[in-house]
Amino acid sequence: MDNNIYDICIIGAGPGGLSAGLYCSRSELKTLIIEKETVGGLITTTTEVENYPGSEKGATGTSLTQRMCEQAEEFGCEFAYDYVSAVEKAEGGYKVVCDMGEYFAKALIISTGSYPNMAGVAGEEEFRGRGVSYCATCDAGFFKGKKVAVIGGGDTAIKEAHYLSRFAGELYVIHRRDELRANISNVRKIEGDENVKVLYSHVPVEIKGEGKVTALTVKSLKEDREYDIELDGVFVFVGYKPNTDFLEGIVDLDEGGYIITNEKMETSAEGIFAVGDVRNTPLRQVITAAADGAVAAVYAEEYIGK
Ligand code: NAP
């Protein structure tokens, strides 16, 4: 039997893909998960995962998804580390074209997640990795006792600001509206952080520095004035974009580029399913991605059986 032929190929090893991998391999389907970087997906860049029921106290995105990965492997799920550049219709299924090889599967489950947006501020690109960061877990340690800003007012921004406040001396949250978008449970956390100050109705204008970040120019929308805040780091958390470029023309996408699915996680293409953050779902959480993975696995199995 050809080693590159599978019943199910899952693209992306975040919680949705890993859950689908567990269900598919446990149903004795020959299952492959292809991952371009590290197992676990975007949740590995967050700190504590408090809202996945049953997870150990203090569980991190990495520890939780590492266990999901082991569980799938225990039932025979295989992993390949490669970058998927295209998906093509083939006889009896689909061909998955990667940088280092090709795979064939009767059905596909797409769980490629999303990647962080840039804020589009002058200097953001220039100082990326030199004071500008998109990952608090990765970079918080560089800012012990220092002054930093977080751009954004959503759940990610506020949750990560709370985490960063343990490291930073002073922290400014720069939010463009006069109320936060984040859920009240996350807002409550920063309310208790004495070193955190939220600048409402402020937009970032320019990240300045010499070799590394030294200041952020902000504009107060209410006062219609610009001023500089001297600081050492700027963390950007202004939402995400789906990883669906390689699927254009293969499955229907919504106006944001997210994959359109029905309640069985079926896409517009027969035999292709989508789960987790990459699909047009009302809630993007580990638990919803994992649940999507289970649903997709069951209906992918049914599809193959037909
Ligand atoms: P989000 O909810 O889309 O929030 C993005 C934030 O960035 C918003 O406050 C937005 O402002 C701001 N923003 C967007 N573009 C900007 C720009 N160019 N300049 C300045 N500010 C900009 O994204 P998210 O916080 O990453 O969350 C994504 C999803 O994951 C959400 O559904 C969220 O609930 C979920 N999530 C949940 C948790 C949890 O603990 N439950 C944690 C993380 C994420 P406006 O508010 O004015 O639009």
The reply to whether 2-115+240-305 and 118-236 are identical in fold is yes
Asked if 267 and 251 touch (Cβ cutoff 8 Å), the reply is: yes
Q: Is the C-beta atom of 152 inside 6 A of ligand 1?
A: yes
Q: What is the structure's pLDDT at 1? A: 45
pLDDT 10s digits, 36-84: 998 999 888 776 788 899 998 989 999 999 999 999 999 999 999 999 9
Average pLDDT, whole number, for the chain? 95
CATH-assigned architecture of domain 118-236: 3-Layer(bba) Sandwich (3.50)
Q: What is the structure's pLDDT at 211? A: 94
Query: Where along the chain do its domains lie?
Result: 2-115+240-305, 118-236
Residue with tokens 């797409």, as numbered in its chain: 110
Q: Which residue type occupies 299?
A: Y
Q: What is the structure's pLDDT at 2? A: 63
How close is the Cα of 274 to the center of ligand 1, in Å? 22
Dihedral of alpha carbons 256, 261, 262, 264, sign: negative
Tell me whether residue 139 is one of the annotated catalytic residues. yes
- Classify residue 305 by its DSSP letter: H
| 37/73 Cα distance (integer angstroms) | 18
CATH topology of domain 2-115+240-305: FAD/NAD(P)-binding domain (3.50.50)
Of all protein residues, the one whose alpha carbon is nearest to atom 9 of ligand 1 is 153
Tell me whether residue 245 is one of the annotated catalytic residues. no
How close is the Cα of 125 to the center of ligand 1, in Å? 20
Of 213, 217, 221, nearest to 204 by C-alpha is: 217
Q: Is the C-beta atom of 166 inside 6 A of ligand 1?
A: no
Of all protein residues, the one whose alpha carbon is nearest to atom 17 of ligand 1 is 119
Asked if 262 and 281 touch (Cβ cutoff 8 Å), the reply is: no
Q: What is the structure's pLDDT at 237? A: 97
Q: Is the C-beta atom of 181 inside 6 A of ligand 1?
A: yes
Q: Is the C-beta atom of 95 inside 6 A of ligand 1?
A: no
Q: What percent of the chain has pLDDT over 70?
A: 99
Q: Is the C-beta atom of 183 inside 6 A of ligand 1?
A: yes
Q: What is the structure's pLDDT at 190? A: 95
Q: Is the C-beta atom of 157 inside 6 A of ligand 1?
A: yes
Instruction: List beta partners, residue 227.
Output: 218
Q: What is the structure's pLDDT at 44? A: 87
Tell me whether residue 135 is one of the annotated catalytic residues. yes
Q: What is the structure's pLDDT at 137? A: 81
Structure token digits, residue 175? 């939010």
Structure token digits, residue 246? 């390689």
Asked if 21 and 31 touch (Cβ cutoff 8 Å), the reply is: yes
The catalytic residue among 9, 24, 69, 139 is 139
N- to C-terminal Cα separation, the chain: 22
Dihedral of alpha carbons 115, 118, 124, 126, sign: positive
How close is the Cα of 50 to the center of ligand 1, in Å? 18
The catalytic residue among 82, 98, 135, 193 is 135
How close is the Cα of 167 to the center of ligand 1, in Å? 22
Low-confidence ranges of the chain (pLDDT < 70): 1-2, 47
Q: What is the structure's pLDDT at 105? A: 98
How close is the Cα of 180 to the center of ligand 1, in Å? 9
Q: Is the C-beta atom of 153 inside 6 A of ligand 1?
A: yes
